[in-house]
Amino acid sequence: MDKRNQKQQPDPSNGSKRKREGCLDCSDYFMAVAVLTSKMSEDPNTQVGACIVNQDNKVVSTGHNQMPKGGKDKLPWEQKKEDEHDTKYPYVCHAELNAIMNKNSADVKGCTIYVTLFPCNECAKLIIQGGIKAVVYLSDRYKDRYSTKVSKKMLDLAGIPYEQFYPKGAPEIVININPN
């Protein structure tokens, strides 16, 4: 048979471009976004970041712990003072609250929240009532605090799973933003 006029079929195993090895896994990316977002926090002791992702694996929001509008540079970051009004605790807006408020979608129903610290009870309420369907957290540093224990109790009652994050790829991601 004369093959001169036959169309050449590309050989998938030879000559075609292969996909890049070692590209960032989706969940590693989302937690990395949460960690990067935490770097915006002005809290000298604990910086928290959150990243909310919808069912199409699209980021719909991020947030970090920060003072409410109008309170920046006017409210304290102290952890301990004789009077609790002089500490950060009554004022600071948690990362999860900010992420839910910052959403670029109508709601956060069915979304997953990636957060660098296990959500406290107040954040758990927002997560549950907002319709978030899963929590992925990095640190459970405050697991013995009552606010974490009751948070887990509420999440359990609402049937919202929470799992600790473990990276699928390399645990360290280096970002260089130097233009040169």
Ligand X SMILES: O=c1[nH]c(=O)n([C@H]2C[C@H](O)[C@@H](COP(=O)(O)O)O2)cc1CO
- The footprint of ligand X on residues 48-107 (CB under 6 A) is 48, 65, 79, 88, 92, 94-96
Interaction between residue 113 and ligand X (CB under 6 A): no
Residue 117 is a binding residue for ligand X (CB under 6 A):
yes
Enumerate residues 6+ apart whose C-beta is below 8 A from 67.
42, 74, 75, 88, 91, 92, 93
Q: Which residues pair with 139 in a beta bridge?
A: 117
| Only segment of 16-24, 26-34, 40-48, 100-108 that touches ligand X (CB under 6 A) | 40-48
The nearer residue to ligand X, 2 or 83, going by C-beta atoms, is 83
Q: For residues 103-122, which are near Zn ion according to CB under 5 A?
A: 120
What tokens were used for 7? 């169309």
Q: Of 29-37, 115-123, 160-168, 172-180, which part binds ligand X (CB under 6 A)?
A: 115-123
Which one is catalytic: 42, 82, 84, 96? Answer: 96
Q: Which one, of 108, 115, 107, lies nearest residue 41 by Cα?
A: 115
Residue type (1 letter), 178: N
96 is catalytic: yes
Helix and strand totals (H; E) in the chain: 4, 5
Catalytic positions: 96
